[in-house]
Structure 1
Amino acid sequence: MSDVVELAEARLRGALGEPDARAAVTFLGTGRIEVLRFTGGGAGPDRDGSRPDGSGPDGSRPDGDVVRYATLGMSREPMSDPTSPTADPVRGPRAELVLSVRAGRADTDKALRPLAVLAASPQVEGVVVAPGGSLDLGEPLWPGAPFSAVLVAEPGGLVEDLELDEPMDPVRFFPLLPMTANEAAWKRVHGAAALQERWLAAGTDLRDPLRAGVDLG
């Protein structure tokens, strides 16, 4: 069959259009990780996990001012349970990550390397990315960002899963929802669903790169 990464890129292009920029990072012990930037729309309604039903916070925001960053290369190897004594080179979940932010409000292009770091975490740290999980960088997603962690949202709304030949698992494209430090700490105690309910109740625009943290009192 064709290379998994080539198929993943084709799926991203089909869902998000043609990328207008890309950067590559290679980490010791991992393959090449690229991050592609998409600014041409092509994704239709807001369906990137910013609400449980897949719509944006107000259910009707257009996509025209949204820039999306997608990793490419994370799906090359399946993710494995870090407690497993041996890693299956074929079977296991595969993923890529997608971050959507409103364009022109912050220097979000500087998020490319941090996103590559997150994409390399399964191979470097044995992390298995799954919906409801958190990924923490320990530093801002971009210069001046109030976010150093992200919530992994449900896949399938923005970019459909990529089915692969048996016995390989499909590639899933996980939306990332930036969290402030307080939100990340609160989520660890109360869970992802409770945090998403707070965001929804407050009408939080999760794509706003300058947003303040939601009231958690």
Structure 2
Amino acid sequence: MDVIERVRSAVLGYFGVEAAAVDTASMTFLGLEPIEILRVPGDGVTHYATVGGSRHPMGDPGDLHADPVRGPRAELMLTMRSAAGAGAGVARSLGVLAAAPAVEGVVLQADALLDLGEPIWQDAPFTAVLLGAGAIPEIELPDPAEPVRYFAVTPVTATEAAWVRVRGAQALRDAWAEAGIDVLDPDRGAASL
């Protein structure tokens, strides 16, 4: 079983769904293999999980000879409360973020702030995301490959992104908790910082 089949199987197993119950979008970037975005409906929420970003390990783009096996591998998952209108453009944005390691040499990791420079979905106030620990357990691969890690994607406004740059990711999470902000709500306002 290849990396992508392992990842897809792990996502479907985690949510306890069959492939037929999941909507799939596919994004292709010049020179890269396709990245799929699985849309998994849940109880009052929708999960968007990438499959394909972990096909190759992430590494330093300056390395002349990238290791084709060793190195961290990552995928992304965005969870949102179901709301009308939220979601148009989400698959494209997640595809761009999942392709960032191959396209821009970005290494996806917890507390990373990734700025898209445009709304994450149509008319959204969020133009960046903050990565955190994901709920899907690490997906083991045959040695010597490192496991695939899923990172939770939390949309943030430009003001919140600036806060992360100045104070750090945990300070923003603390502000959300103190204000009782539900970060899964696609219609939420920004934290008062």
- For Structure 1 versus Structure 2, the TM-score category normalised by the shorter chain is over 0.9
Amino acid at match of 2:26: A
Q: How far 1:109 sits from its partner (Å)?
A: 3.9
Q: TM-score, normalised by structure 2?
A: 0.94
Please tell me whether residue 122 in structure 1 is matched to residue 112 in structure 2: no
Q: C-alpha deviations, 1:66-113, integer Å up to 9, x for none?
A: 001001100100000234343111000001100000112433142111
8 Å CA contact 1:106–1:209 kept in 2: the answer is: no
8 Å CA contact 1:29–1:124 kept in 2: the answer is: no
Q: How far 1:147 sits from its partner (Å)?
A: 0.5
Please tell me whether residue 143 in structure 1 is matched to residue 102 in structure 2: no
Please tell me whether residue 66 in structure 1 is matched to residue 45 in structure 2: yes
Q: C-alpha deviations, 1:184-206, integer Å up to 9, x for none?
A: 01101111111111111111100
Amino acid at match of 1:37: R
Q: Match for residue 6 of structure 1?
A: 5
Which of 158, 161, 172 is the equivalent residue of 1:181?
Answer: 158
Please tell me whether residue 198 in structure 1 is matched to residue 160 in structure 2: no
Amino acid at match of 1:4: V
Of residues 78-87 and 144-153 in structure 1, the stretch that sits farther from structure 2 once superposed is 78-87
Q: Match for residue 48 of structure 1?
A: none
**Number of residues paired by the alignment?**
190
Please tell me whether residue 82 in structure 1 is matched to residue 82 in structure 2: no
Tell me the distance in 1 between the aligned counterparts of 2:156 and 2:65.
33
Identity %: 48
SS of 2:127's equivalent in the other structure is strand
Please tell me whether residue 165 in structure 1 is matched to residue 142 in structure 2: yes
SS of 1:38's equivalent in the other structure is strand
Q: Match for residue 22 of structure 1?
A: 24
Q: How far 1:31 sits from its partner (Å)?
A: 1.1
Relative contact order: is structure 1 or structure 2 higher (C-alpha 8 Å, sep ≥ 6)?
Answer: 1
Alignment gaps of 5+ in structure 1: 42-63
Tell me the distance in 2 between the aligned counterparts of 1:183 and 1:123.
27
Q: TM-score, normalised by structure 1?
A: 0.84
Amino acid at match of 1:82: P
8 Å CA contact 1:105–1:210 kept in 2: the answer is: no
SS of 2:7's equivalent in the other structure is helix
Tell me the distance in 1 between the aligned counterparts of 2:12 and 2:108.
22
Q: Match for residue 47 of structure 1?
A: none
